[in-house]
Amino acid sequence: MKADSTFQSDVSLSALARIRHDVQGMHAYAVQDATGLLKLDAMENSHRLPPQLRAELGRRLGEVAINRYPGPSVDALKAALHAYAAPPEGWSLMLGNGSDELISLLAMACDIPGASIVAPVPGFVMYAMSAQLQGLAFHGVPLSADFELNEAAMLAAIAQHRPAIVYLAYPNNPTANLWDAGAIERIIDAQGAQGGLVVMDEAYQPFAAASWIDRARAEPARHAHVLIMRTLSKFGLAGVRLGYLLGDARLIGELDKVRPPYNVSVLNAECALFALEHESVFAAQAQDIRAARAALLEALAQTPGVRAYPSEGNMILVRVLGQGTHDEGAAARVFEGMKTRGVLVKNVSKMHPSLANCLRLTVGTADENARQLAALQASL
């Protein structure tokens, strides 16, 4: 028995050697255990469907032919999303299993010798992770102290690295702000001049005061190399895992070649179709979240010991001021204190040096925000 165990261990170690060393050195994407806690760490829409619509959706999903591969329902969903987003003439879209898959597919499609990706940091971690996994260089350009774009540094990075892709999140995660439109336009122009793609990541579009798609419609020629990426996760379907990428039909046609067949299930497609048919329900939820965000920001402004940054998403970045500039553990203590009081948020302090002592709060319902605020104030 002992010999068998040793043999199995040796075989396992031998097999591990076949896995890339950089992958073995990585950390898997962490999902916090929220058992028994108010879950406000992942920017989910806290609103559920009304009971009547839940029952209607259940009946509709019961009629889906799950013995068949996805087909007409996916085509219907693409048409519905195209009508909903209303992109410029000549644009089309492709679907992904959430935005994460689309980000991975973009890196795969653009993986030519010497290719790289540029994005502001701090930003969404999957931009850098997808680059690493695909073997592309990733160049992060730090934001300013107030989390605004460093336009000069972005333009310099584009000139130096000539990246295949520049990612611009609008609004950004985890800082939740919309960047200056003039700076974005000049970055788009510079990236276009050297023949690269710009991906405007609009994951939090339902909560923002602006969408870049309006500018693309107004100046389609200027945006021929721009892709707009969205997800239905923040729309209210985080559990459905569905993202979509909009852009010039010729670009989308090429990118679609690397998409796995049947990457969106018939159940996911039917859920998304159902949601778009009841878009007004989700629009009302987004409006409620925007109102709750304003109230929470106002309350945080009156809370000593924290600084809350402006938000155009369903999240608010908060810096814990602690006991002075060298109190490096202030956010960690508040995070644990809130968790002890039954509220789970996200400690982003280690994501980037500029996020030292920062927590990211999800904007929930009015009742959830009251609990969140009370737990925060009691933990300071």
- Indicate whether 367 pLDDT > 60: yes
pLDDT on residue 325: 60
Residue ranges of alpha helices (H) inside 17-165 are 21-24, 51-62, 72-85, 98-109, 125-134, 151-161
Query: Is the pLDDT score of 306 beyond 70?
Result: yes
Tokens of 264: 């969106």
> For residue 329, what are the CA distances in angstroms to 254, 319, 373, 375?
48, 12, 20, 18
CATH class of 66-277: alpha beta
Place of tokens 């009304």: 50
What pLDDT, on the 0 to 100 scale, is given for residue 285?
96
9 vs 2, 3, 17, 19, CA distance in Å? 11, 10, 13, 16
Q: Is pLDDT above 60 for 347?
A: yes
Report the alpha-carbon distance of residue 324 to residue 129 in Å, rounded.
34
Q: How many CB atoms lie within 10 A of CB 180?
A: 12
304 vs 321: CA distance, rounded Å: 9
Residue-wise pLDDT tens digits, 27-77? 877 788 889 999 999 999 999 999 999 999 999 999 999 999 998 999 999
Calpha distance 213→45 (Å, rounded): 23
Domain ranges of the chain: 22-50+281-379, 66-277
pLDDT at 7 over 80: no
Please give the pLDDT value at position 225: 98
How deeply is 332 buried, as exposed, middle or buried, from its count of CB atoms within 10 A (0-12, 13-18, 19+)? middle
Note the pTM of the prediction, 2 decimals: 0.93
For the segment 229-238, what is each residue's pLDDT rounded down to a tens digit?
999 999 999 9
| pLDDT tens-place string over residues 79-131 | 999 999 999 999 999 999 999 999 999 999 999 999 999 999 999 999 999 99
22-50+281-379 topology per CATH: Aspartate Aminotransferase, domain 1 (3.90.1150)
Distance CA 198, CA 185 (A): 11
Dihedral sign, Cα of residue 173, residue 178, residue 180, residue 183: positive
> In the structure encoding, which two tokens stand for residue 346, read together?
């996200």
Mean pLDDT score, 170-196:
98
pLDDT beyond 80 at 13? no
Per the structure block, which two tokens stand in for 321?
Answer: 């001021």
No. of helices (H) and no. of strands (E), the chain: 14, 13
How many CB atoms lie under 10 A from the CB of residue 252? 16
